[in-house]
Structures are given as C-alpha cells and as structure tokens.
Structure 1
Amino acid sequence: MKRAIFVVSMFGMGIATNANAQESFPEVKFSGLGDARVSYSSGEPGWLDGGYGKTRYGSDPNGNDEVRLNLSELSLMMNTQFNWELSTFVHAKFDPEQKNDIDLVEAYAKYSNLFENGIRTEARLGIFYPHMSMENIDIAWTSPYSITSSAINSWIGEEIKTTGLEIFIEKEFEESALSFTGTVFGLNDPAGTLLAFRGWALQDSKTTLFGEFPLPPVHSIGPDGKLALQDPYVVPHLEVDDRVGYVVGFDWESFGLFSINSQFYNNRGDREAVIGGQYGWETEFINIGVSLDMFEDFEIFGQYMKGNTKMGGLVHGEIAVDVDYDSFYILASKTYDIHRFTVRYDHFAADDNTLVGYDNNKETGHAWLFAYSADLFENQKLMLEYLHVDSDRANRAEHSPITRVKENQVQASYRVRF
C-alpha cells in the first residue's frame, strides 16, 4: 500500500505541473525494448527456479542441461518533458519470471538546471536505480557490453533500488569535472536477503515495484528453522521499520584520461523488525568504480564493492545472520564498426560471522564472460555470450554432498529498440 500511495502522489505532482507548463509543452516520447533469448545452461537448477544456481537460466530440476527459448524482457518507457527543467520518466516491463507479468521498474520526476557559473544540478523524486552501475547504461537499465551483468550489478538490479529524493551537483572545469550525489530513501529494508541466503548471482533480471524473488530452500528459513518467520521469497521494495536510508557519492573525471567514482549506501535497517514474512536488514556497503578513458574504441573499467548485512535478534548470544560480502570485476570492450567484443572477469565472496554450524552462508567464486554483439540493422542488435561460473557455497551441503559447482551458460539475444 505504501508503494502504491507513493506512485500515485508522484504522478499527481506531475499532473499539477503540467497544468502550468509552457504552451509548447508537454512533449511526450515513448520508447521500448524487446529481448528474445535462446539459452543453453548446465550445472544446477537456477536460483529463479528455487535452486542454488548462479545464472538466470540453470539446468532442469534433475541437473540435466537445459535449452530454453524466452522472451526475457519487453519494456516500455515514457518520458514526458513539461518544460526545459522538469520531466518525468516511467519504465514498465513485461517479464513472465516476475510475480506480476507487467510491473513498474522505475518511475520518477526529474528537475535539472544549469547555472551561469557552470554548476549543473539535478533532482530526482520517485523510484530509481542509484548512480552506481558502470555497465547498465543503455536503454531499460541494460548493458551494451553483455547480456549478463556482473555480480555487483546483478545484485544492484535485484535488491538495491531507491525510493526517495536524490540531489546531484556537478561542476565542470577546463579539463575535468567533479560531482556529488546525496539520496534519502525508503522502501528498501529487505536489501541483503538474497545476498545472505542465496549469495551472489550473475544474471539480468531486474526487480519491479510489486515483484519478489525466490530464496533457495535453506533449512534456517524453512518451516522448522530458527528464522521460519522469513517467507521463502524476498520483496525488495518494502518499508519494514519506517527508517530513512541514505546514499552519498562523488565522481571525478579527468577528460580523456580516467574517471573514479564512489558511493556509500546504508539503509539504516532495523534488523529485528519483521512485517508479513519480510525482515528488515541492516545493510551497508561502499562501491568504487574506475574507468580508463585514454583509448579510442576501447574501454576498460571495473567496480569493487564491500559491505555487511545483518538480520534478526540474538540466537545463542549471536546475531541470527551477519554476513560480510565483497566483489569486483574488470571489463574490457573493443568496438570495430558495427561489432563489439567484450571480456569480463568477476570475483565474489561472502563470509558468515555467526551460527555457521547451523546456517553457513560462506561463499567464494569467480566467473569469466566472453560476449560479442553486432548492430545488424537500425535499432536491432544481436548479442552472443558465454559465461562460466565456478562457485563454492557452504549451504549447498544441506541438499547435496557437493558444495562447489561449475556452471556454463551460452546465450543468444536479439534486441529490438522501438
């Protein structure tokens, strides 16, 4: 209900502004993205199917290799410009893997202004991804480099979406630019649930406003577990404790040489609060991105994330769930005419600090990705990708004697923009 009230009030503000807009406005633009996918997967059942797999499409329930044909996403976006400064953006998508086939991904109002002293300001109010991902910079929060996001940006796409107010300030100098970002937000208290119970994943399914994601069948959150109040799924967009979280960040760019950015996220969650099967999680992390920009038609950049997430009260004198996590990736991409070639290496890990004899969420792993794309026709792109994931996760032992699994996924994607 809180989510619905927020969306309605936000659009009410947009309608009120429209009434006072200049005569040449509003200007409404629609755009969209369709993504048809063929995939081959081996290893184990995927996490979206209730397994422990790290990829979007895993094996069949018996562990046999699986070939699938899917409409992985159909997105529609509407951008309304009310005047030179004020606009709204709405992103809805059809995704049969989500709880609701049709749902909202982002919806916000944006106010931009450029002052005479060269300072540019921007404010966003609504539901939006924070400015963290260096990969997901294309239409509908997709990546132009690959089909599958890195572990870091997969998790941002799943659980880290802010609902609130963001202020951005940038000052451009002769050979560089410096910017600062500050955000206050709510409706993100369960962030950390997937990362603790499932661990990292590499995939491209984005959370929606009223959506949810399944959790693996770990004993601690089962009917007889000590955390049985937790639903077997997580609802990322939810306010549990009525506390306001925040994100602060900066970006420094030296034109033609490099850029560096950093953000600190803290949802200030009450780890003992629980509503309707969803706990509040006390989650914080720092995210750092670096890009080298001195090469023509060649990009190299990476991100590093390190943080901690906690949930629940004391069990035998220890916090129920207390997990440190970290990950980094390095990506290199070369364009030639209509072609793009990309390689990426991921490392990810989680370290459980409490109750490991009962609920061990320790994890280590790495992944290699090789991708090729071609802009075949106007607004049409073919993408081919091979992904290899090697991970060792302790709580797999609850259902199998094997904790280390190697997964391979080959995908072909045909994207159409309209």
Structure 2
Amino acid sequence: MLCQFLVLLFYFPLHMARAAEYTAHGIVDFRVSYIDSLDKGYLTSGQGKLGLGDGLHFSVAQIGADLSVSWENGLSAHGVVNAYPKASGDGESTVLGFTEAYLKYRSLPTSSGYRFQTKVGIFYPEISLENNAYAWASKDTLDSSTINTWLGEEIRVLGSEFKVTRLGRMNNNKYDLSLSATAFINNDPAGALLAWHGWTISNRQTLWTEQRAFPWFPARADGQALAGQADKSDPFFELDHRVGFHVRGEWKLRGKGEISAGYYDNRATPYKVIDGQYGWRTRFYHLGARWRFSKNLSLTAQYLSGDTLMQSESQVDVVNNDYASAFVALHYNWQAIVANRKHKSTLRVEDFSVTDNDDTWGDNNNEQGQALTLNHSYRLSKPWFLSAEFTIIDSHRPARYYTAEPVDLIEKQFQLAARYFF
C-alpha cells in the first residue's frame, strides 16, 4: 500500500506540468563513539538514555537521502529515505525505509502579500528547530535534544497541512507572520515509548511502519495490567479512525530570528486496543525561539510539555503521565585564518521530566534529569564536516530498579564523526 502511495506521489503530478526539476540531497554520517553507561542503550530495549550501551562503538550513524521533484506551477513531491546500519556492540539490526513522503503546493504571493502552502502525505509536524539539515539531521549537533529525539521516534503523521504566511516585505514590515493547521491520522500509540523508556538522546528516527522495542517491566507479566501489550510499540498505527490536529503560529524577524508556538493532539481513544497496540491520548504544547545576537553568536531554545493517557478496555487508567522537556543551545561560529574553513561550537543544556499520575503496579514512569552537550564542528570542505561531541546525562528513573540497575545514573558519551552532505 505504501509503495502504491509513493508511486502516485511522484508520478501523478507529471500529468499536470511538463517542466520538472529533480534534486537529490543527503547525508552519510560516520562515527566512533565511546560510552560510559549501562550495558544496553534504549535502542535495544535497555534502560540507558543513549542509543548505544557501554563501550566503544563504530558505526555509520545515518545514511539519508532527500529526494524531490518540483514543477513550475508551485507543486513539488518529496521523499526522504533513511538507513541505519548496525553498529558494533549492541547496535540494532540494519534498517532501511521511508521517514517522509508528501506532496506540497506553494503559491505565489498575492497582491496583499499573502502566500499559501498545502502539504499532504507522511511528514513531521512543523515543530523541530534543531533538525534543519537533509533527511531531518541536525547541522549543529550529532545527536538531537531529548525533545527532538522523541519527535523523531514517535511523532509522525499521515495527513494534510495548510499554512498561510503574511510577508512583511510586501507590507512595509520587517517581520513575517505564519499560521498553520494540520489534520492527521496514524499516530495513536505515540506516548508509549516516552512512558516506558523515558526521555532519550540519539539521532535515530523511526521509519514509517517500523516497530520499536522498550524495556521489560513487571506490569507486562502474565496476569498484570499490561499483559496484553505487544512486545514492541508501533508509533504510526491507526486504531480508532479519529482525526488528530496540530496548530502552529510563527513570528519571524528578518535577519534576527523567530518565535513560534503550537499545540498537538492525536485525539486517540485511550481504551482502544488492536493486536497489542493501545491508543494513547497524547497532547502537548511547544514553544520555540531562534535568535541571532551577532554575526557569530546565536541561540536556539525549545520547550515542550503535555500529557498522555492509556486505559484498559474497561476505561480504567493504566498509564497517566505528564511530561516536559526544555533546552537552550548557544552557537558560536569561529572564522579560521584559512579562507573557506569554518569552525562552529554548540553548547546545549537540557532539563526533562515525566510525572506518573496512576497507581498501576510494576509500571513506575517517574523520571527527572538534566543533560549537557558540547559540540565542535570543522568544515573541511564544502561537503565534509568533522565533529567532536561530548554528552553527559544525569537522570533519576525508578523503573531501572525492575532490571536491577541504578535508579540514579550518570551517563557519558564522546563521539567523533565525519559527515558528508551531498
């Protein structure tokens, strides 16, 4: 079914316009990582906050391709493919698949300075301020913040977005204003992974239709409240055919930065279950800002807070969580003596939490933690970047007691990467 959708996505518009422009961009990310943590990272159902577990790892952290076709009438088709080869140590098995596939139409500005845009297909809601490179990679850090790691893992939609932008340059203003609204399906189990492994940090995105593992906990044992839960979560599954929504507003000052705010609600039925996949009523609001203080110094900040609810088929609360995460990142561009050689440093600090409001035995989702990431990147040539990154995470998570691991844990990760953008 997905293959048929992609064929229509790229070839149907050919009947509507003759001249087409094809583009292909992407990233190949080679890494060496040394991690001081638990034996298993969260990607392999461990309780570690990092993707990989303790030790030295060699990996191709991402192979991503961003493919598009554009026509003169403002219509374009986009497909994003990502591959994650198995890393040495406790890495997942190699996977390959689509992360986004959509049609987009962008109008010319009207005489009063309004531009309209529509999008339909599989895509990320417009939330992340970090993942601004090809294939939803980040330019400034190797691993995303806890907020955007979660978005890459559990938040993706099949739907339609409408966006209107008031262009300041056509109204004698220095700022643009935008408002967008999205209606979607296929995101009903979102919230399960956040509850059961908490906030995490990596660059891993969930592929469309891919299922993801979570740690074992006593409530999943026979006869307990979650005995019927499948072994893996399927974040992009549709359970109840109810339409969710996302709305977002943005104020952008040309040459300086932007401020945005939005609200997401998947409107899932929390007591619906099919094949071990439960509906999770997941809602959150998000705030974001990017600001340039000078030619060299800039800031990125995001805050996300919400709740998620999952119930038994008799409508008794099984998981009822509040959650929040925030980060502030400072970026500094260093101009080296040699022409066209640039250095950039990023310092990111984070605070995150999950509050468990239910009384389900053997399923304590409470969590509190902080993280710090320091990245330095060097542009070796136009497509090649070398990066060194250090991350430290200090977290308190009672659920680690279930697997005889420390409730209070400090994890460290040092990475060296060579990234090729094409």
TM over 0.5: yes
* Equivalent residue for 2:26, pick from 32, 45, 67: 32
Q: CA deviation at 1:210?
A: 2.1
- Describe the SS at the equivalent of 1:231: coil
TM-score (structure 2 length as normaliser): 0.92
Residue 336 of structure 1 is aligned with which of 334, 337, 344? 334
State the Cα distance separating 1:20 from its structure 2 match. 2.9
Question: Is the Cα–Cα contact under 8 Å of residues 318 and 354 in structure 1 kept in the other structure?
Answer: no
Equivalent-residue separation in structure 2 for 1:208 and 1:257 (angstroms) = 35
In structure 2, the residue matched to 1:248 is 247
Structure 1 CA distance for aligned equivalents of residues 163 and 407 of structure 2: 44
For 2:361 and 2:11, locate their aligned partners in 1 and report how far apart those are by CA, in whole Å: 56
1:31 offset after TM fit, Å?
Answer: 2.0
Aligned-residue offset at 1:21: 1.1
Letter of the 1:27 partner, please give it.
E
**Would you say the 8 A contact 2:65–2:81 is kept in 1?**
yes
What pairs with 1:127-276 in structure 2 (closer than 5 Å)? 127-173=122-168, 174-276=173-275
Shift of the 356–346 alpha-carbon distance from structure 1 to 2, 3 Å rule, reads farther
**Percentage identity across aligned positions?**
30
SS of match in other structure, 1:263: strand
Cα RMSD, aligned residues only: 1.8
The aligned residue for residue 72 of structure 2 is 83
Contact 1:392 1:405 in 2 (8 A): yes
> Could you say what secondary structure the match of 1:12 adopts?
helix
How many matched pairs? 405
Is the Cα–Cα contact under 8 Å of residues 298 and 331 in structure 2 kept in the other structure? yes
* Partner of residue 12 from structure 1, selected from 8, 17, 20: 8
Matched residue, 1:74: 63
Structure 1: 5+ residue runs without aligned partners? 60-65
* Contact persistence 1:248–1:263 (CA under 8 A): yes
Equivalent position SS for 2:344: strand
The 3 A distance-change label for structure 1 pair 222 and 412 is farther
Q: Which runs of 5+ in 2 are unaligned?
A: 87-91, 336-341
Paired with 1:414 and 1:251, the residues of 2 have a C-alpha distance of 34
The reply to whether residue 372 of structure 1 matches residue 372 of structure 2 is: no
Residues 406/260 of structure 1: CA separation in 2 closer, same or farther (3 Å cut):
same
Q: Deviations over 1:261-316 (max 9, x none)?
A: 0110000001111111211110000000022233222111210111000112278x
Q: 1:135 to 1:37 in 2, by over 3 A?
A: same
Cα pair 1:222 1:232 within 8 Å, conserved: no
Shift of the alpha carbon at 1:73? Answer: 1.2
CA distance, structure 1, for counterparts of residue 351 and residue 147 of structure 2? 10
CA distances 1:323-373 after superposition (whole Å, capped 9, x unpaired): 000010000000123100000001000000011553211000000100011
Query: What is the CA–CA distance in structure 2 between the aligned matches of 1:47 and 1:225, rounded to whole Å?
Result: 23
Equivalence for 1:416: 420
- Following superposition, the deviation at residue 219 of structure 1 comes to 1.6
Does the 8 Å contact 1:100/1:210 carry over to 2?
no
* Residues 50-106 of structure 1: CA deviation (Å, up to 9, x unaligned): 2100111221xxxxxx10101111112211113340010111122235677220011
Structure 2 letter corresponding to 1:46:
G
The farther-off stretch of 190-199 and 348-357 is 348-357
Residue in 1 that maps onto 2:89 = none
Query: Relative to structure 1, is the Cα distance of residues 193 and 113 closer, same or farther in structure 2, using a 3 angstrom cutoff?
Result: same
Corresponding residue for residue 400 of structure 1: 404
Q: Give the match's secondary structure for 2:312.
A: strand
Residues of 2 paired with 1:346 and 1:41: CA distance?
19
Distance in 1 (alpha carbons) for counterparts of 2:330 and 2:220: 40
The answer to whether residue 372 in structure 2 is matched with residue 383 in structure 1 is: no
